Each structure stands twice: as C-alpha cells, then as structure tokens.
A and B are shown apart, each in its own frame.
Chain A
Amino acid sequence: MIDENVMAKVEALAGLRLSPEERERLRADLERILAYFQKLQEVPTEGVPPFSPLPEVRNVLRPDEPGPSLSQEEALQNAPEKEDGFFSVPPLFSR
C-alpha cells in the first residue's frame, strides 16, 4: 500500500529528507501502522459530524488595539542567520 512513490510524496510534503535505510524502515512502519488503523473503517460514521473540542467557544477575537509585543531583537534572538534586522535564508531559485 505504501510504496516508494507514496514515500517520495510524503517526504516532499513534510520537508523531510530520509536516508535509504530510514525510508525503508519508515515505509514498513507506516504500512503496519496503517494496516492496524484500518479497523476504524468498520465504524459507521454516516451523519456523524467531526469532533469539536470547544463547542461553546466561537470566533474568539480581541480588540484591535496595540499591546505589548516582542522587540525586533527578541524576535530574532533564535535566528540561525540574520541580516539588517531580518531573518536570512538561502536563495529560493537559481538565477
């Protein structure tokens, strides 16, 4: 069920880069876990809504007023690379 193509898609979507050994182990794990999880399919759920963890809490908004926030320095304190007060990343595309 979980073949190399599915693994390649999952890796791309999840931003994961796996070694060939890791990929095979994870593929086998996923296949076994999902086979075990198939038992969910035996539960009839027609007309059952998805769960809502907080039925009484709706559309939580706050007044649109400025409040305390992090300074630029604090917001950048964990950045592995920064430049002129910005987060810095490698190029997105080749020139």
Chain B
Amino acid sequence: MTLTEVRAGLAAHELTREEVIAALWERIAACEPTVHAFLSLADPDRLIADGEPLSGLPLSGLPIAIKDNICARDLPTTCGSRMLQRFRSPYEATAVARLRSAGAQVQGKTNLDEFAMGSSTEHSAFGPTRNPHDPSRVPGGSSGGSAAAVAAGEALAALGSDTGGSVRQPAALCGVVGLRPTYGLVSRYGLVAFASSLDTIGPIAGCVRDAALVLSLVAGHDPLDSTSLPVPPHDYTADLRPDLRGVRIGVPKEYVPRELGPEALALVERWREVAEELGAKVMDITLPTTEYALPTYYLIASAEAAANLARYDGVRYTLREEGDRVGAMIARTRAVGFGPEVKRRIALGTFALSAGYYDQYYGKAQRVRTLIARDFAGAFAEVDLILGPTSPTPAFRFGEKEDPIAMYLADVFTLPSALAGLPAISIPGGTVGGLPFGLQLIGPRLSEERVLSAALAFEEALN
C-alpha cells in the first residue's frame, strides 16, 4: 500500500493506525532475515501508543524509515560505520523534526554504504542489504536500505540522501521512486556530512505522489543550515498533474549509449513514444561534458569527505583505540573505525588537496564542474526536462563490481545533475532481464513541481 492510500484509508475510517503498523511489522518479520534493510527499529507497540495524539496531523502518526546517516534522537545514528556504532545524536535533523511535526514517527534507521560512500550497500560495516526482487543482487546504494524497505513493503516511505545518485540509483534498482531535490532545498542540518557541496536529503517512496508529499513536509528554508535556500515551505502535491502537453523533453545521446543493450534501449524508445503520445515534444540533445562527470565527482566528493571525516578523531564520537600519544590514538582509531572504501576516498581526497597536486586535481575538477553546470544550462534553454535511464544496468550481483572504477560507473547518469545541483527523479520505467530499470527525469534548479508532474504522467502511462 502507498502512503497516499493509507492516509485515505485512515481518513475514511477503513483502516486504523494499529492495523497499518501491524501490517508493516508483519512484512518486516517476513522480509528482514533476507533483505536486512534496517539497522535499528522502533518498538511497534510504542509507535501505536505514541501515534494516538498525532492523528489530526498530515501523517497521522504513521512511521517513516530514515537512512542511518540522518540524526534522530531516539535511535542510534551509525552511518553504517564501526566508527559510529555506539553513537547517539544529541540533536535531531531538521528533516526528521519536520516529519515529526507533520505527525510522522521514526520507524527505524536504514542500512547504507559506510558514510554513504558506495553504490551497492555492500560497504556497510553491518552487512549488506539484499534486493527484494532478487536476494542474490544488490539493492543499489548508498540508500539501499531505504529503497529496499519501501520495495519490500516494510516501510510506507523513507528518507535517503543523494550525494552523487544515492537516492535515485537504489530507487531504480529496487523499482521504487526516489527524488533528489535541488541542492539547498532540504536542510542538511543533522545529515552527517559526506561531501557538503553535493549532499542532499530526498524521499524514497512507492509512488510519485508519496514522494511529492514527503518532499512537501521536509523542504524549505532552515536557519540552522547556512546553505539552505531562501525558499518557503511549499505543498508539492497541490499542482501535481499527470500532464506532458507541450513539454519539451530532451534525451541526451550520452545517456543512451549502445552499451546499454537492446532491452534497455528499447525501453528508452518506449519512454519517448509514451511522452509523444502524451503531447510532449521529444528531441535529441547532447551534454558533451558527461564523460568528465565521473572523475570530477570523485575528486570533489573525496576531497570534501577527507575534510569532513577529519572530525572522527577518537575524541568526540564514541570510538577510541588507545595510544600513548594523541597522534597515535587518532591514527589507530581511524584504522579500526573506517572500512576500505572510506579509507580509499579519504586517501584520494587527501591526495587531491595536497600541496603540489591541488591545482591539477581538485582545482581542475571545480572548473570542469562549472562546465558541466553550463552544459545543463544550455540544454535547459531548449528543453524543459531531460529524460534518460537512472543507471546503466539493473541490479547487479554481490561482488560483481569489486573494481572501484567499475562500481563508480554505476552512477554515471546520476553524477552530472548532482554536480550541477539540479533536481532529478527516478521512477520505475520497466524491466531489463526481469529486473526493475529506472527512468530518470532531470529539471532546472527548483523545478520540482515540473519534474514531479512529468514523473506522474510517466508513472500512470507505464503502469
């Protein structure tokens, strides 16, 4: 059941909150031994009891799952890392606080690649999440737990975080909806920092309408985040219409390479036909800087991560390995606390920022990032939206991408828009090899309403 259906059922007194929570926990009992979407869970009896006074609010005491790099007071915030295994946040993320004031309760904290660095959830220190469509395959990442929980019917909706594709790619691989908002639209206060110029919080949900609802409850200016845009809260469901008439849609040739294979290419063809049937004007466009997005992203994100993760020094965040001097203590703590992918990114970022290499790597990447953003600005002078696949492949098998570059290539279609700070959504677009394959729509900054309405039109036409 979708969040929208459950809310309607509660409003019509055809359902009770107890029944909804019991049904979710039945799914959790049935699926969690295989799927492992959650790292911690609230007590359902407590949710039922505490939900009563929330019934007049938009989310009526319903539980929402939260990615475990977003701080909530009553459960741990581990980031999927040994470093934070025992960490309890003394404050709450703005997105979580806003969901609570809309009547939501925190259902549990979902699994992720350590510190959100990964595309498969295999890099969690607490074991991987499995794809509900095929447990021999990954759910994508890094918000793999949030996407798998929604796909398995264990959660009505979830929050994830998207730095380079971490909401959209797992949504695509699990066959659900994931929205990355415009950079700065949703407060990052209480989101554990990975790459501050790229990090966003976004909804993962069972349908476009649910994603629009959750976005409405968390978006808008927050004085606690100095990078939060001066945009007031807005109801993104109010003008949501499945309408593509007169909409100009560009399909970048770089997003439909031959290598996608015949099945995926046929799906993209079908999306174009659907769009034209619905009255859109579909045209071929080009985003020539696409091939540079991957190195640009990994240099910038790793550099920012190296700086942000310097705070885990054995002094403030629970884990400490003993050392006779402070330097030895810090180095031992970080050696034990961080997993291999986090170390790889810290090393890459530290190198890219170091004296003698800064201009060649980090400085260069920041300039190419400007060119990537200009590419999009040029495209949006001619089209209203950009259409393409979310990910080059459906869900891959565990261990299939041991080579870090092969893993990084899983994000090749989500990185450019992340670098440009643009809103983008992934919705189920059909299947490839019997597995979900995501359709991605990208819009100009702050065009969430346009992106969501177009996504709703595709959702209705493709189902």
- Contacts from A to B (Cβ < 8 Å): 2, 6, 9-11, 13-18, 22, 25-26, 29-30, 32-34, 36-37, 39-41, 43, 45, 48-51, 53-54, 56-57, 60, 62, 70, 74-75, 77-81, 87, 89-94
Contacts and interface: CB of A to CB of B under 8 A. Distances in A.
A57 B361 CA distance: 26
B258 interface: no
29 contacts: A14-B334, A14-B350, A15-B330, A15-B331, A16-B335, A16-B338, A16-B346, A16-B347, A17-B334, A30-B351, A37-B361, A40-B299, A40-B365, A43-B371, A48-B370, A49-B370, A53-B197, A53-B198, A54-B184, A57-B227, A62-B223, A77-B88, A77-B90, A78-B316, A78-B317, A89-B314, A89-B326, A92-B326, A93-B325
A40 B299 CA distance: 10
Given A16-B331, A45-B364, A91-B326, A37 B298 contact: yes
Contacts of A80: 314-315, 318-320
Label chain A's interface by main secondary structure: loop
Contacts of A79: 315-316
B265 interface: no
Interface of B: 86-88, 90-91, 183-184, 197-198, 223, 226-227, 229-230, 289, 291-292, 295-296, 298-299, 306, 310, 313-320, 322-332, 334-335, 338, 340, 343-344, 346-348, 350-351, 354, 360-361, 363-371, 373, 404-405, 419, 421
Given A14-B347, A15-B334, A89-B326, A9 B354 contact: yes
Nearest to A43: B368
A10 B349 CA distance: 9
Contacts of A54: 183-184, 227, 229, 421
